[in-house]
Structure 1
Amino acid sequence: MSRPFHVLGFGALAIDDIIYVDRPLSSGKGKVTRRAMDHGGNVATALVAIARLGGRAAFIGWLNDQPSDDVGGLQLERDGVDTSLAPRAAGSLPIRSVITVDPAGDRFIAYDDDVLHGTSLDLSDDVLAQAPVLLIDGYSTHSEAVVARARALGLSVVADIEWTVGPATDRIMALTDNLVLPLAFGRSYAGQTAPEAVLDALWSQDRSAVVLTDGENGCYVRQRNDATRWHFPAYAVKAVDTTGAGDCFHGAYCLALAQGKAPLDCVAYATAAAAIAVTARGGRMGLPDDSTCRQQMAAEGAPVPIPLAG
């Protein structure tokens, strides 16, 4: 069935103040070399990545009911993300973040998230049915019933979760068929260390895939109807700023999934997209188009998946 969008998403929408410094973050202090302001947020940036890649994305999280105060929503529209389906509420504001980036591209994010999270519990099934994929993040615990309805309607739910708030997070993860998580969080949540053990601990019969991302070390994948656990190496690139790299990965993964690709193929596309994204400053400045991703994937020496031993 043809749908208006490839991906719907609700979750973090942020305004980022970015500070670049001349020393590693571990140094304790250093000189500011550059300041910038950008728009960010896990889900919001992932949806922008989808738009840059040529996909159709819609943000369905809370936005401000006053257009003049709706800074985050207006920027999403400028970046090609539809906001016409989003619920609106008085006083709804973006998260504010301060991001410190060192010369290696590593960063520390300090954020103030005392804002309205998730989406309206009154969001209709007609809205949810407008895409085959729903992207959520850790704030989706505020709208668990919406996630449950999306799964009941047959949407693939992709979760970008980096922390737990206890049983509510457990329930969201149980509703998710594509867990795409940082390896560090997966290890903490599962109580395992080896990537293959974490993949297996997070697996359930309702999963389509578990993907554990690990920055420059690549990622680890288990997918349905495949006895092999996979390691997908990262591209060898010079990182300028890793802000938004994970969001770009999630966006590209979601778009490939919406296009009917198998999870391992989604990871191949997402790995290429994220590798390009880290070569520019800011969370959205380096987001690639589809042609650039395809060229990256076709280049000599591009990484290929490797079976995990054991």
Structure 2
Amino acid sequence: MTRDLQVLGFGALAIDDIIYVDRPLHAGKGKVTNRTQDHGGNVATALVAVAKLGGRAGFIGWLSDQPLTDASGRELERHGVDISFAPRRSDARPIRSVITVGSDGDRFIAYDDDVPHGTSDVLADGTLAQAQVLLIDGYATHADAIVARARKLGLAVVADIEWTIGLETERLMGLSNHLVVPLGFAQAYTGESDATAILRRLWSDDRAAVVLTDGDRGAYVRQKDDVVLWHVPAYKVRAVDTTGAGDCFHGAYAFALTEGKPPVACAIYATAAAAISVTGRGGRMALPDHGTCLAWIAGENAPVPIPIAPAD
């Protein structure tokens, strides 16, 4: 089958009310300097990032069966994400979030996620087989059979997991051959504090890569058939808003996979994309294009990946 789309994904959709304040969040209180509303969601924003980078992205999670009032679906389409294969249901709606952003760009997200998650169990193999990569988040525990089918069809599964609900999450992580997770989650999940120990603990023979993202400290990578573990340092930027930076990282990583890059090179590309994304407000307003990412990577001050330990 011709692969019409490069990256498919399903996960939470969100509408974010964003409040900017004049002090860091740890100050406890501050004056509001700006208010805005934006669309978000881990996988949704990652797919928008793929489209902005020039990739062909498709959302296959639940959307409303009332297309004319489906603001989240229309917003994805506006950004170039294909929604024609998304299943529909009457109760589908986005998560509502309130995000407070401090003066240093750090943010706190409060959300209500009592909405339908996952995707349809009868999603056709032909739909999945269009793509090279499937992007998922922690809510994919509601549709892990689809993830398993994607793996059998040969898709790379890039997982953005930020919390665990027990055995269901463990199964989902086991199905994901590119586990790209925040270091903080990985520390809590494994009980380890050191990134190298976590990369070893999360490894399995079925993995292609484990990537630990650590904000302005960069990322840590283990990739298949490599004898060393890697640290990819972050770019030195002034963060305006870190909302969506992790989602941008996942989308850029997935897009780089479709170009045949190995995981460390994907992490380098994604690190540049995420750094650019935090220089503007909102989760999607500053998402970069492909040329800008390449220019940053080619810059004389671009971080260079560092081998940090043997893989075993």
TM over 0.5: yes
Q: Take 1:244 and 1:46, find their aligned partners in 2: how far apart are those partners? A: 8
**Which ranges of 4 or more aligned residues in structure 1 deviate by more than 6 Å?**
none
How big is the shift at 1:88?
A: 0.3
Q: What's 1:229 paired with?
A: 229
Q: Take 2:71 and 2:180, find their aligned partners in 1: how far apart are those partners? A: 28
TM-score (norm 1): 0.99
Asked if the contact 2:228–2:309 (Cα under 8 Å) also holds between the matched residues in 1, the reply is: no
Q: Take 2:12 and 2:294, find their aligned partners in 1: how far apart are those partners? A: 28
Q: What's 2:250 paired with?
A: 250
For residue 78 of structure 2, what is the amino acid of its counterpart?
Answer: R
Q: What's 2:71 paired with?
A: 71
For residue 191 of structure 2, what is the amino acid of its counterpart?
Answer: G
How big is the shift at 1:91?
A: 2.0
Q: What's 1:91 paired with?
A: 91
How big is the shift at 1:28?
A: 1.4
Q: Take 2:236 and 2:26, find their aligned partners in 1: how far apart are those partners? A: 23
For residue 237 of structure 2, what is the amino acid of its counterpart?
Answer: V
Q: What's 1:307 paired with?
A: 307
For residue 136 of structure 1, what is the amino acid of its counterpart?
Answer: I
Indicate the SS of the match to 1:123. coil
Indicate the SS of the match to 2:34. strand
How big is the shift at 1:2?
A: 4.2
Q: What's 1:174 paired with?
A: 174
What is the aligned length? 310
Note the 1:228-307 alignment, pairs <5 A. Answer: 228-307=228-307
Residue 209 (structure 1) aligned with residue 222 (structure 2): no
Q: Take 1:252 and 1:288, find their aligned partners in 2: how far apart are those partners? A: 10
Q: What's 1:11 paired with?
A: 11
Q: Take 2:209 and 2:72, find their aligned partners in 1: how far apart are those partners? A: 31
Q: Take 1:82 and 1:247, find their aligned partners in 2: how far apart are those partners? A: 18
1:135-170: CA deviation from partner (whole Å, max 9, x where unpaired): 000000000110011111111000000000000000
CA root-mean-square deviation: 0.8
Indicate the SS of the match to 1:225. coil
Indicate the SS of the match to 2:37. strand
For residue 235 of structure 1, what is the amino acid of its counterpart?
Answer: Y
For residue 57 of structure 1, what is the amino acid of its counterpart?
Answer: A
Q: Take 1:2 and 1:132, find their aligned partners in 2: how far apart are those partners? A: 11
For residue 22 of structure 2, what is the amino acid of its counterpart?
Answer: D
How big is the shift at 1:259?
A: 1.5
Q: What's 1:116 paired with?
A: 116
TM-score (norm 2): 0.98
How big is the shift at 1:309?
A: 3.8
Q: Take 1:107 and 1:174, find their aligned partners in 2: how far apart are those partners? A: 30
The share of aligned pairs that are identical, in percent, is 67
Q: What's 2:132 paired with?
A: 132
For residue 5 of structure 2, what is the amino acid of its counterpart?
Answer: F
